[in-house]
Amino acid sequence: MKDVASQIRQGNRLALSCLLTWIENENPEGRAALDELFALTGRAFIIGITGPSGSGKSTLVNRLAIQLTGSPQTPQSVAVLAIDPSSPFSGGAILGDRVRMRDLMEHPEIFVRSAATRGALGGLARAASEMVLALEAGGFDFVLVETVGAGQSEVDIACLAHTTLVVEAPGLGDDIQAAKAGILEIADILVVNKADKNGADTAARSLAAMLEIGADAAGLNREEQVTWKVPVLKTSALNDEGIDELVAAIRQHRTYLETSGEWQRRSQIRLDDLFERLLREKLFAEWKRNIQNRKYEQILGEIHTRKISPYQALKQFRA
């Protein structure tokens, strides 16, 4: 595909899909295109949605995407990037895409894409960061980044977003499980989805209580506090309930971000983080190019046999 960057500039979605694939496959053409498109980035409102599987997150994201497009006369455009821990091996990402596409078929202003886990160290977080850049360059008003689970990668990916939603649902586990989920600290808005189910009120109350404890532990004085107070909202995505209120809270959070200077700070952190990742990668790649393979293998062999420790081995290499 020739001149992908200029075609993306003209709103060509096929070209955008192609660029996203390049990024996913770490094809160098992807970086060349992103380099060209970089000046177009920085305008989208990036919303992260994370939470455990079984919380009905995907349905919620679909509803949210539709709601964010606004009036049919002057629709806003929405991109959904679903970060999927499936590997290409199981084909999970593709399957997920198909199910979503069916739901969103009547909404051409919504663009959906899944990205699968990369094996490389930190590979997924970097790829996600670059895919968001590509979607911003594609001119979307909103970019929704959905992640499954509650691990380190989700925390990394939350750093991409202006606003992070953490989605829970009743019946996924006891209180301690919820406390262990530990991603509460990254939440700007907490959502208890499947609110039609038993236990939704209890879950919402217990999350609100945990937020209080967290705020106390962080030494925040709520009287003086001019910062954001994380709301706990109940939704039932399947029945399309609570989505209006959720969108209202998201818009309030955007206003908070813009008036507090936090919008700019988060936008910058995201770029700093990407740059540091790229730099670390480059340093290692250049170092590897300059080192003799045989020497490296020999040292690894000495570690395997416990002749030297990894820490001693480090001293044998100069940067």
Size of residue set near a copy of itself by CB under 8 A? 85
Please give the single-letter amino acid code of residue 129: S
CB 58 to a copy of itself: min, Å = 9
Interface residue with a copy of itself among 41, 67, 76, 252 (CB under 8 A) is 41
CA distance linking residue 146 with residue 157, whole number of Å = 9
Q: If binding is defined by CB under 8 A, does position 27 make contact with a copy of itself? A: no
Give CA separation, 228 vs 10, 155, 203, 250, 258, in Å.
38, 19, 21, 12, 12
Sheet holding 142-148: strands in order across?
A: 110-116, 78-84, 142-148, 45-51, 163-168, 189-192, 232-234
179-198: which residues touch a copy of itself (CB under 8 A)? Answer: 179-185
Interface residue with a copy of itself among 54, 75, 139, 199 (CB under 8 A) is 54
Q: If binding is defined by CB under 8 A, does position 139 make contact with a copy of itself? A: no
Please give the single-letter amino acid code of residue 269: I
The closest alpha carbon to 264, from 40, 42, 34, belongs to 42
Interface residue with a copy of itself among 27, 139, 155, 254 (CB under 8 A) is 155
224-283: which residues touch a copy of itself (CB under 8 A)? Answer: 267-268, 271-272, 274-280, 282-283
Backbone angles phi, psi at 24, to 5 degrees: -60, -40
Q: If binding is defined by CB under 8 A, does position 208 make contact with a copy of itself? A: no
Beta bridge partners of 147: 50, 83
CB 209 to a copy of itself: min, Å = 12
Interface residue with a copy of itself among 24, 109, 146, 154 (CB under 8 A) is 154
Instruction: Give the residue with the Cβ less far from a copy of itself, 294 or 311.
Output: 311
Residue 11: other Cβ atoms inside 10 A: 11
Q: If binding is defined by CB under 8 A, does position 89 make contact with a copy of itself? A: yes
